[in-house]
């Protein structure tokens, strides 16, 4: 029963969500359409369950770093910073959510988010620019004809997408636009179609219980 | 130059510089900032999640007597059973619910938007004329490339037929087109990453140093 | 070590320093390189120009976080500036937890300039549930019953005539990932015929092109460059245009390093 009930839940919920937008008329006995079941019950429930799910990873983080702090493992100060900042932001945001009309609460949260969370997150992703510059220089070599095609396309796009491209050669911007609009569209479209068909097959396997990987081990 | 005197701006600058210090080498200041980054981002997400549970669950439950909201609350709590030894299987129910939702929601819509409508968009005139009936070579060439480009890349992904003879040649052509596509993607990745870095440098120069 | 090998192993810190200096200088002293406007950007501009400020309300979905903000936030600002200039009212919503903080920045600025929350714009805040939330909001836009300031939507005149996403004159997704523009296409554009365009992070632009070509996306702002182009169309100077010169230098530096690396590679192979 530990596997059968979840498989049944997936099947029933999946079928109701699938039929919601493509069927009309009421289901006998229930006197409700699939669409009504989705909009009145299932969809709002998903919002709540997803919101609960957001906390899962954080609980894992808290357990892990909490134990580092408790055992005073090397680098425990960093773990303490993680736990404290997580609790601080959680509490601050909850107050912000529950008191949306209090201008002081709104302003305080705006300040801590804009000056702590946002710059840390922004800078973390910004440093990728340095690595991509270094990686391009080290690994982006015309080792074969296929790699050369990739290289040339990338250089045309880089020069054509920046305003300076037009100063170097008039045709860079139009060449970049053409590459993006024609060969890229053809390639991406084929990948999108292929992925959709693959996704469709996988979804059917999940719906009918043939694919059970998401249930995890025993 | 008009350096900011706001303590908050200095905190912001310190956060950016602490993360940037990693590009020189891994160091304790970076490690500390990295942990605060994870903590603050997770904390914000939890706060938003609690807000959602309150707005979309608690309020209708308590003010409109919509008792059915007890069900997702129980399912949501069941997710946390994975942390209790011997009861991890309980968390499969809500996971099964979310998977069923995702599958049911996307089964038809993905096929429609990404396969059917994209395939339909590929069914275009191969020979293009303008309104006056004049033959347009550029558009004709582009349309040929779009139609046959999609077909040859799809051919590359057909694994159920042995790729020999003409099939191999067509799939090889698909490989070339994909290289071009990946080149375009790489160029865009570089542009995107530069934009992200520019954003941070720009914040330091405007809000903190007041240079621009 | 010979020259070819030396050129293949330039210290990463030299590359980083050159990139940093190369990006900083044009930010302080802009060169003012002219910028051509893409059709994808012009399409968004044209749709907003054709809207009727008396009847049309625009929905802006802020689906990005501070991590991707430098690439798409200037587009959001540029679009809001255009809406403001035309007197078109807008409703904000987010399907990313960080989204409301992004829209709050814009709203704070508008309020400082005398525009009124609740009259000129409102924000419905974050709704969890990823693609399912977008689908639900598309079918029933009154599912979010209170805005970010705790006001019930029945008391917000901007939401008076809104029942589904189709009732918005135009929907724009400012999108940095999942859920994003493709979820809107799957759940709102194709099943309901919602008029939709997107401001997309540069990285996602190649994957979005087939949807623009098929008409599922009516227009598209391509990352920071899209914002700069939009600013030039509206005539309202913003962060996008200011950063385009530095973007150019950044691309040149990376292309130069790729060229140096390949030159040295071929030189060493020849030897």
pLDDT tens readout for residues C149-158: 999 999 999 9
Distance CA A201, CA A203 (A): 5
Question: Looking at the domain assignment, is residue B189 inside a domain?
Answer: yes
Among B36, B22, A92, smallest CA distance to C101 is for A92
Q: Phi and psi at residue B105, in whole multiples of 5°?
A: -70, -40
Select from A36, B52, A196, B96 the least CA-distant residue to C136.
A36
Verify that C256 and C160 share a domain, yes or no: no
**A118·C104 Cβ contact <8 A:** no
Q: Which domain holds residue B139?
A: 124-212
- What is the model's pLDDT at position A218? 56
Say which residue, A20 or C173, is predicted with more confidence.
C173
* CB-CB contact of B118 with C214 (8 Å): yes
Q: Which of B42, B93, B107 sits opposite A58 (nearest CB)?
A: B42
pLDDT score recorded for residue A217: 67
Residues 6+ apart with CB under 8 A from B191: A157, A158, A161, A162, C202, C223, C224, C225, C247, C251
Given phi > 0 = left and psi -120 to 50 = alpha, else beta, which region is C87? Answer: left
Q: Copy the structure tokens of residue B110.
A: 């993905």
Each residue's pLDDT, cut to its tens digit, for chain A (218 residues) gives 788 999 999 999 999 999 988 888 898 888 899 999 999 999 999 999 999 999 998 899 999 999 999 999 999 999 999 999 999 999 999 999 999 999 999 999 999 999 999 999 999 999 999 999 999 999 999 999 999 999 999 999 999 999 999 999 999 999 999 999 999 999 999 999 999 999 999 999 999 999 998 888 65
Same domain as C21, residue C66: no
* B178: in domain: yes
Q: What single DSSP character describes residue B135? A: B
For residue B165, tell me if it sits in a domain: yes
* Same domain assignment for residues C165 and C254: no
Calpha distance A55→A68 (Å, rounded): 20
Tell me if C81 is assigned to some domain: yes
A88 touches chain B (CB under 8 A): yes
Q: Round to whole Å and give the CA distance between A202 and A176.
A: 36
Measure Cα distances from A42 to A133, B52, B77, C208, C239 in Å.
47, 16, 17, 30, 43
- Smallest CA-to-CA distance from C86 within C130, C42, C48, C131 is with C48
Interface contact flag, C66 A54, Cβ < 8 Å: no
- Residue reference for tokens 């990404």: B114
Across the interface, do B19 and A124 touch by the CB < 8 Å criterion?
A: yes
Chain B residues with CB under 8 Å of A150 CB are 179-180, 182-183, 186
Whether residue C202 contacts residue B191, with contact meaning beta carbons closer than 8 Å, is answered with yes
Q: What are phi and psi of A3, to 5 degrees?
A: -110, -35
Q: Are strands C89-94 and C196-200 parallel, antiparallel or unpaired?
A: unpaired
Is the residue at B174 inside a domain? yes
Shared domain for C86 and C206, answered yes or no, is yes
B61 touching chain A per CB within 8 A: no
Distance CA C78, CA C2 (A): 51
Report d(CA A36, CA A18) in Å as an integer.
13
Contacts of C67 (CB under 8 A, 6+ apart): A121, A122, A124, A125, B196, C176
Handedness of CA B25, B30, B32, B38 (dihedral sign): negative
Please count the residues of chain C: 271
Per-residue model confidence (pLDDT) at position C3: 80
Burial A113-146 (b: 16+ CB within 10 A, else e): bbbbbbbbbbbbbbbbbbebbbebbbebbbeeeb
Contact C25/A at CB under 8 A: no
For CA atoms C132, C138, C142, C148, the dihedral sign is positive
Same domain, C21 and C118: no
Cα separation of the two ends of chain A: 12
Closest residue of chain A to B146, computed from CA coordinates: A186
Cα–Cα distances (Å) from B155 to B177, C93, C200, in that order, read: 12, 41, 30
Q: Are strands C89-94 and C121-126 parallel, antiparallel or unpaired?
A: parallel
Q: Collect the ranges in chain B with pLDDT lower than 70.
A: none
Considering the domain architecture, whether residues C68 and C201 belong to the same structural domain is answered as yes
C129, C84: one domain: yes
Q: Which of C67, C104, C205 sits opposite A125 (nearest CB)?
A: C67
Which residues span the domain enclosing C253? 3-30+247-270
State pLDDT tens for residues C95-154: 999 999 999 999 999 999 999 999 999 999 999 999 999 999 999 999 999 999 999 999
Q: Is the peptide bond before B19 cis (omega within 30 degrees of 0)?
A: no
- Count of CB atoms within 10 A of residue C110's CB? 18
Total of domains in chain C: 2
- Do C23 and C111 reside in the same domain of the chain? no
What's the Cα-to-Cα distance from B110 to each of A195, B105, B116, C17, rounded to whole Å?
Answer: 9, 9, 9, 45
Q: Is residue C242 part of a domain?
A: no
Out of B34-38, B80-84, C85-89, C208-212, which region has the weakest mean confidence (pLDDT)? Answer: B80-84
Length of chain B: 212
Phi-psi region of A122 (alpha: psi -120 to 50; beta: other; left: phi over 0): alpha
d(C-alpha B115, C-alpha A64), whole Å: 43
User: Which of C23, C41, C101 to mutate against chain A (most A CBs within 10 Å)?
Assistant: C101
Q: Which two tokens stand for residue C254?
A: 């990376």
What is the CA C94 to chain-centroid distance, rounded? 13
Dmax of chain B from CA atoms?
76
Q: B26 by DSSP, 3-state: which? A: coil
Q: What DSSP state is assigned to residue A32?
A: B
The answer to whether position B135 is within a domain reads yes
Place of tokens 């990338």: A154
**pTM, whole model, 2 decimals?**
0.95
Q: In this structure, are C149 and C76 located in the same domain?
A: yes
C191: closest chain B residue by CA: B109
Cβ burial B41-53 (10 Å sphere, 16+ → b, else e):
bbbbbbbbbbbbb
pLDDT at C1: 60
Are C131 and B102 in contact (CB < 8 Å)?
A: yes
Is there a contact between A137 and C15 if contact means CB atoms under 8 Å apart? yes
Q: Is A186 left (phi over 0), alpha (psi -120 to 50) or beta?
A: alpha
Contact with chain A for residue C254, Cβ under 8 A: yes
Chain B: closest CA distance from residue A57 (Å): 8
Same domain, C220 and C200: yes
| C254 part of a folded domain | yes
Q: Which residues are bridge partners to C170 per DSSP?
A: C58
Going through chain B in order, the beta strands assigned E by DSSP cover none
Q: State the CATH number of the domain containing residue C63.
A: 3.40.50
Q: Quote the DSSP letter at residue C63.
A: E
Contact list in A for residue B189 (CB cut-off 8 A) is: 132
What total of structural domains would you count in chain B?
A: 1
Alpha-carbon gap: B51 to the closest alpha carbon of chain C (Å): 9
Angle at A57 between CA C69 and CA A129, to 5 degrees: 30
In a domain, B148, yes or no: yes
Angle between helices A145-161 and A172-181 in degrees, nearest 10: 120
Q: Write down the residue that tokens 């929350």 correspond to.
A: C117
Confidence of residue C269 (pLDDT cuts 50, 70, 90): confident
Contact C21, C171 (CB under 8 A): no
Q: Are residues C124 and C196 in the same domain?
A: yes
Token reading at B148: 């046959």
| Same structural domain, C141 and C106 | yes
Paired residues of C62 in beta bridges: C174
């Amino acid at each position: 029963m530990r596997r059968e009930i979840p498989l049944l839940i997936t099947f029933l919920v999946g079928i109701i969500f699938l039929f919601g937008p493509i069927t009309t008329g009421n289901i006998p006995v229930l006197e409700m359409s699939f669409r009504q079941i989705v909009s009145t019950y299932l969809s709002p429930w998903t919002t709540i369950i997803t919101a609960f799910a957001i906390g899962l990873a954080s609980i894992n983080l808290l357990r892990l770093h909490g134990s580092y702090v408790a055992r005073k493992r090397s680098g425990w100060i960093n773990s303490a910073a993680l736990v404290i900042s997580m609790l601080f932001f959680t509490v601050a945001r909850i107050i912000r959510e529950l008191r949306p009309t209090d201008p002081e609460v709104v302003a305080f949260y705006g300040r801590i988010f804009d000056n702590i969370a946002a710059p840390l997150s922004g800078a973390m992703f910004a440093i990728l620019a340095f690595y991509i510059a270094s990686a391009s220089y080290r690994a982006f070599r015309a080792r074969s004809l296929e790699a050369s095609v990739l290289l040339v396309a990338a250089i045309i796009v880089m020069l054509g997408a920046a305003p300076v491209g037009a100063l170097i050669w008039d045709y860079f911007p139009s060449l970049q636009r053409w590459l993006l609009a024609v060969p890229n569209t053809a390639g991406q479209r084929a990948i999108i179609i292929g992925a959709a068909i693959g996704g469709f097959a996988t979804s059917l396997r999940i719906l009918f219980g043939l694919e059970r990987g998401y249930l995890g081990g025993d | 130059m008009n350096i900011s005197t706001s303590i908050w701006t200095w905190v912001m600058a310190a956060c950016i510089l602490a993360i940037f210090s990693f590009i020189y080498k891994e160091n304790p200041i970076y490690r500390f900032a990295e942990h605060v980054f994870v903590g603050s981002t997770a904390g914000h997400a939890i706060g938003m999640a609690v807000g959602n549970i309150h707005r979309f669950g608690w309020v209708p439950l308590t003010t409109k007597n919509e008792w059915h909201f007890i069900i997702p609350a129980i399912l949501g709590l069941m997710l946390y059973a994975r942390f209790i030894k011997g009861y991890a299987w309980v968390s499969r129910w809500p996971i099964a619910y979310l998977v069923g939702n995702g599958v049911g929601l996307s089964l038809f819509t993905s096929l429609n938007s990404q396969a059917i409508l994209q395939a339909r968009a590929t069914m275009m005139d191969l020979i293009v004329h303008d309104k006056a009936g004049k033959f347009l070579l550029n558009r004709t060439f582009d349309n040929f490339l779009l139609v046959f480009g999609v077909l040859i890349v799809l051919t590359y992904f057909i694994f159920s037929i042995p790729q020999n003879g003409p099939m191999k040649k067509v799939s090889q052509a698909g490989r070339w087109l994909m290289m071009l596509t990946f080149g375009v993607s790489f160029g865009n990745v570089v542009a995107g990453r530069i934009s992200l870095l520019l954003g941070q440098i720009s914040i330091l120069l405007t809000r903190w140093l007041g240079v621009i | 070590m010979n020259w070819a090998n030396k050129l293949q192993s330039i210290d990463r810190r030299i590359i980083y320093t050159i990139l940093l200096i190369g990006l900083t200088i044009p930010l302080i002293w802009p060169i003012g390189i002219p910028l051509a406007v893409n059709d994808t950007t012009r399409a968004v501009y044209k749709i907003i120009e054709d809207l009727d400020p008396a009847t049309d309300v625009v929905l802006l979905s802020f689906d990005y976080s501070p991590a991707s903000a430098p690439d798409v936030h200037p587009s959001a600002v540029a679009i809001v500036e255009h809406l403001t200039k035309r007197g078109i009212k807008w409703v904000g919503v987010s399907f990313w937890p960080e989204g409301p903080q992004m829209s709050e920045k814009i709203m704070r600025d508008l309020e400082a300039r005398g525009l009124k929350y609740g009259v000129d714009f409102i924000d419905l805040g974050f709704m969890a549930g990823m693609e399912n939330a977008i689908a639900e909001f598309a079918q029933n836009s009154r599912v979010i019953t209170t805005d970010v300031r705790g006001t019930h939507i029945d008391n917000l005149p901007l939401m008076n005539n809104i029942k589904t996403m189709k009732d918005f004159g135009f929907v724009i997704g400012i999108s940095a990932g999942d859920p994003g523009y493709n979820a809107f296409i799957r759940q709102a554009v194709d099943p309901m015929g919602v008029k939709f365009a997107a401001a997309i992070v540069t990285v996602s632009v190649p994957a979005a092109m087939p949807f623009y070509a098929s008409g599922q996306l009516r227009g598209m702002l391509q990352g920071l460059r899209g914002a700069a182009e939009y600013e030039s169309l509206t005539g309202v100077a913003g962060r996008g245009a200011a950063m385009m010169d530095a973007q150019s230098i950044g691309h040149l530096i990376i292309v130069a390093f790729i060229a140096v690396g390949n030159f040295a590679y071929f030189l060493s192979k020849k030897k």
